[in-house]
A and B are shown apart, each in its own frame.
Chain A
Amino acid sequence: MKKAIALALAGVMSVGLLAGCGSTGNSSSASTGTDAATGETSTTSSGAGSLSISWWGGDSRHTAYQNALAAFTEETGIQVDTHYGAWSGWEDQTSAALYSGNAEDVMQVNWNWLSQYSGDGSKFVDLNEYSDIIDLSQFPQSTLDACTVAGKLQALPVSMTGRIFYWNMNTFKEAGIEEVPSTLDDLYAAGEAFKTKLGDDYYPLAMGEYDRMLLMTFYLESTYGKPWVEDNTLQYTVEEIATGIDFIQSLEDNHVIPSLQTMNAAGIDGNNSIDKSEQWINGMYAGIFEWDSSATKYKGSLADPSGFTVGNEIKFGDKANGGFSKVSMGLAITETCQDKEAAAQLINFLLNGDGAGIMGSECGIPNSASGLAAAEAAGAVDELVLEANTKVMQFVDFQLDPTYESNDLKANPGGVYTDVFGGYSYGEYTDSTEAATDLYDGVTEALEDAAKG
């Protein structure tokens, strides 16, 4: 008898465990929306609903967003929950969240994500439908077109961006160079001067794998006068690409840029960008080739920022200026968003309204006319960023194709660019043609994948 009771008990216990689990499961999935959205920081809810938003960036961008969101809450009573972090590893999380339907209501998206994750238009809302809330007329039609994927305006462009050189002129002066390098020969001369006057550990420029790919594209487009990719087809032959790889290697050979091994040794890799290295902070690496919107970040990490200068674009060939601009990032509303009107309101606030004044140039020079006006009125446009942006936009003559930044190509480690430029710098290839073949095949494959959708 006792035994039977005991058995019953054991059974009940296990069932109890199960039941307990089941019920917690249910209640939580029901409450995810509200609990997660309000968060513990928020004060008593005003009942005006709540939103969530996610972005990546540096500490200063985090602060700008938080201030802007506080202003938004004050104005509308809508609480906004936040999710943010640094770029490294960000895309892993975001893509998983998008897939699992856990993505935030409003997302800061990289431009290529629109085609990569929502090529069929299933993830992001068509913002044309909210044109009564968001003033679309503030944006140039060309950038709106760039954000239109699968016939839907899936995001609004925050800013346009391109790559440009930045120099730490303090180090250049120590090497006896007063002028900002403006030609390829200037670069070679700077490499020589750094090596002889300052020593082997000093370089006028530092570039990771992706930076090299970008600079090579600038070089090729300028030399051959045609875009990298057009109509989803790579426009360059293996031989042409090989000359580009030789060009990058010549920079390494002439002490213009450190080898990737040297940079890895300094702790710079896929997880740790150049601005975190002592070599950059202390001026031993005196130049970078970066997005115009990154100016403040790189300046901010310098021990002595006084010599930080926006450089000039360099024209490498004679067929064209070369280089490209692209939509740097956009704000999008996910299809899983519960309150799309409120989300649209938030986007309008951040891009066209008072929020743009608070964001200033944190995400680049605002693409929206009224946003730029608000930022300028608030004095929140960084001179450096403006200068860099102006120089880039005046110079470049090509647009970027969305596949260029696809993860298969760009991921570090594992992407094609990383493997080709890393492998070449580490001496894993016998010659540049072999590396160029890998790059050609990798890009072609990525383009085919993109076409398949």
Chain B
Amino acid sequence: MSTASAPVRRSPFKKWCDQNTGLFFLIPWILGFLIFKFYPFASSLYYSFTDMNFFKGIREYGIMNYIDIFTEKETRTALLITFKYAFITVPLKLVFALFIAYILNFKIKFVNLFRTVYYIPSILGGSVAIAVLWRALFRDTGVINTMLGFFGIQGPDWLADRTWALFIICLLRVWQFGSAMVLFLAALKGVSVDLYEAATIDGASKTRQFFSITVPMITPVIFYNLVTQIAQAFQEFNGPYIITGGGPRNSTTLVALLVYNYAFKENEMGMACALAWVMFVIVMVLTVIAFSSQKHWVYYAD
């Protein structure tokens, strides 16, 4: 990882330059970090302790915003729903992705075709167009309910039901399991065949092999997917904004959407920043837990 250093005598300045070559390449990144990340990040912390409002000025506000967040129904519900959303979406998505990747990993014909089909939603899923499509699919007289009707099932009013509305937002993200799947697939291909052969000789069943060889060998990928998906899930905005607008009865108002509403609908910047910070701390805690749990279950080959 070190640069080749020629054994020639140099002036102290040059020597310093030699030792810090890398730093020069990081100048743009450092500037970018300071201007576009750190400064907004720090000022957002400051605003969170004020009652900043676009039209009413700014005033020190202590921890009132934070108290409000944990006492008011609106924010508590949003936090709760966001947890619910993340804990439904992330496991469902990962299990699904792993399952399909596992099947694809048997010498399947047309593996590329399947892979493409599964991957397309991941590419398009974030677009407004897909959110429009989702609204069309899950209307009360939409395709999904018509389809359920064929099986004699009276589908729920997806967009109006407080339980199901959140579920269809989850479904939109689970539908995009392709990117996680591709990662799993690559990892599965990396698992040495010898391990399976040895296990087969020992008479281990396929299920047993899956749980005692496959899963342990790909834990780094599981870990990576888990961490990135959790971070993503807590930031979900487009889905609820376009599909349900946060309704019905705020049942799909995830934290990111509520932050937006506070900031740009009600002009309560202070509150918006505080809520964003609460969410950041939650994501951070989850990430730290995930990282510190690593040593117990993630297996790094090298």
A and B touch in the complex (CB under 8 A): yes
Scan residues 99-156 of chain B and give those whose CB is less than 8 A from a CB of chain A.
135, 139-141
Check A265–B157 contact: CB distance below 8 A. yes
Check A95–B246 contact: CB distance below 8 A. no
- The CA of A453 and the CA of B232, in the complex, are separated in Å by 39
Check A95–B160 contact: CB distance below 8 A. no
Check A99–B159 contact: CB distance below 8 A. no
**Interface stretch among A2-10, A145-153, A336-344, A366-374?**
A2-10
Interface size bucket, B side?
35 or more
B141 neighbours in A (Cβ, 8 Å): 278
Check B55–A426 contact: CB distance below 8 A. no
Check B55–A92 contact: CB distance below 8 A. no
Check B245–A407 contact: CB distance below 8 A. no
Task: Tally inter-chain residue pairs, CB-CB below 8 A.
Answer: 112
Q: A264-B248, A270-B246, A413-B245 are in contact. List 12 more A-B contacts (CB 8 A).
A: A14-B28, A92-B265, A93-B264, A95-B54, A98-B55, A99-B55, A264-B159, A265-B157, A267-B135, A270-B245, A407-B267, A414-B265
A426 neighbours in B (Cβ, 8 Å): 162, 248-249
A363 neighbours in B (Cβ, 8 Å): none
- The CA of A7 and the CA of B264, in the complex, are separated in Å by 45
Scan residues 250-273 of chain A and give those whose CB is less than 8 A from a CB of chain B.
260-267, 269-272
Scan residues 238-291 of chain B and give those whose CB is less than 8 A from a CB of chain A.
244-250, 253, 261, 264-267
- Cβ distance A158 to chain B, nearest Cβ, rounded Å: 23
- The CA of A270 and the CA of B261, in the complex, are separated in Å by 13
Binding site for A on B (CB under 8 A): 14, 17-18, 21, 24-25, 27-28, 31, 54-56, 74, 135, 139-141, 157-162, 244-250, 253, 261, 264-267
Contact of B261 among A93, A98, A266, A413 (CB under 8 A): A413
Nearest to A452 among chain B residues (CB) is: B56
Known: A95-B54, A414-B74. A260 touches B248 (CB 8 A): yes
24 pairs of residues in contact across A and B, judged by CB atoms under 8 Å: A4-B17, A7-B17, A11-B24, A14-B31, A17-B28, A18-B28, A95-B54, A99-B267, A117-B55, A260-B248, A261-B157, A265-B157, A265-B161, A267-B140, A269-B159, A269-B244, A270-B246, A407-B265, A407-B267, A408-B266, A411-B261, A413-B247, A414-B250, A428-B249
6 closest cross-chain pairs (CB), A and B: A265-B157, A264-B160, A265-B160, A14-B27, A99-B54, A10-B24
- Cβ distance B73 to chain A, nearest Cβ, rounded Å: 9
A263 neighbours in B (Cβ, 8 Å): 160
- The CA of A14 and the CA of B21, in the complex, are separated in Å by 13
Check B28–A271 contact: CB distance below 8 A. no
**A275 part of interface (Cβ distance < 8 Å):** no
Known: A99-B54, A265-B140, A408-B266. A3 touches B249 (CB 8 A): no
Known: A7-B17, A14-B24. A261 touches B161 (CB 8 A): yes
- The CA of A453 and the CA of B57, in the complex, are separated in Å by 10
B161 neighbours in A (Cβ, 8 Å): 261, 265
The winner among A4, A119, A267 for most chain B CB atoms within 10 A is: A267
A269 neighbours in B (Cβ, 8 Å): 159, 244-245, 247-248
B54 neighbours in A (Cβ, 8 Å): 95-96, 98-99
A99 neighbours in B (Cβ, 8 Å): 54-55, 267
Contact of B14 among A4, A15, A266 (CB under 8 A): A4
**A379 part of interface (Cβ distance < 8 Å):** no
- Cβ distance A119 to chain B, nearest Cβ, rounded Å: 8
**A399 part of interface (Cβ distance < 8 Å):** no
**A91 part of interface (Cβ distance < 8 Å):** yes
A402 neighbours in B (Cβ, 8 Å): none
**A422 part of interface (Cβ distance < 8 Å):** yes
A14 neighbours in B (Cβ, 8 Å): 24-25, 27-28, 31
- Cβ distance A342 to chain B, nearest Cβ, rounded Å: 27
- The CA of A96 and the CA of B94, in the complex, are separated in Å by 39
A116 neighbours in B (Cβ, 8 Å): 55
**A423 part of interface (Cβ distance < 8 Å):** yes
Check A407–B266 contact: CB distance below 8 A. yes
Check B245–A271 contact: CB distance below 8 A. yes
Nearest to B244 among chain A residues (CB) is: A269
Check A95–B55 contact: CB distance below 8 A. yes
Nearest to B250 among chain A residues (CB) is: A413
A452 neighbours in B (Cβ, 8 Å): 56
B27 neighbours in A (Cβ, 8 Å): 10-11, 14-15
Known: A99-B55, A414-B74, A423-B249. A267 touches B31 (CB 8 A): no
- The CA of A343 and the CA of B204, in the complex, are separated in Å by 83
Interface string of A403-442 (1 = CB under 8 A from B): 0000110010110000100110010100000000000000
Check A262–B74 contact: CB distance below 8 A. no
- The CA of A332 and the CA of B140, in the complex, are separated in Å by 42
B247 neighbours in A (Cβ, 8 Å): 264, 269-270, 413, 422
- The CA of A411 and the CA of B250, in the complex, are separated in Å by 12
Check A411–B265 contact: CB distance below 8 A. yes
Nearest to B157 among chain A residues (CB) is: A265
Known: A261-B161, A267-B159, A269-B247. A414 touches B24 (CB 8 A): no
- Cβ distance B6 to chain A, nearest Cβ, rounded Å: 9
Known: A18-B31, A413-B245. A91 touches B55 (CB 8 A): no
- Cβ distance A7 to chain B, nearest Cβ, rounded Å: 5
- The CA of A419 and the CA of B261, in the complex, are separated in Å by 15
Check A10–B25 contact: CB distance below 8 A. yes
Nearest to A269 among chain B residues (CB) is: B247
B14 neighbours in A (Cβ, 8 Å): 3-4
Known: A267-B139, A407-B266. A413 touches B159 (CB 8 A): no
- The CA of A347 and the CA of B44, in the complex, are separated in Å by 40
- The CA of A119 and the CA of B86, in the complex, are separated in Å by 42
Check B157–A264 contact: CB distance below 8 A. yes
Scan residues 86-102 of chain A and give those whose CB is less than 8 A from a CB of chain B.
91-93, 95-96, 98-99
Contact of B267 among A95, A419, A423 (CB under 8 A): A95
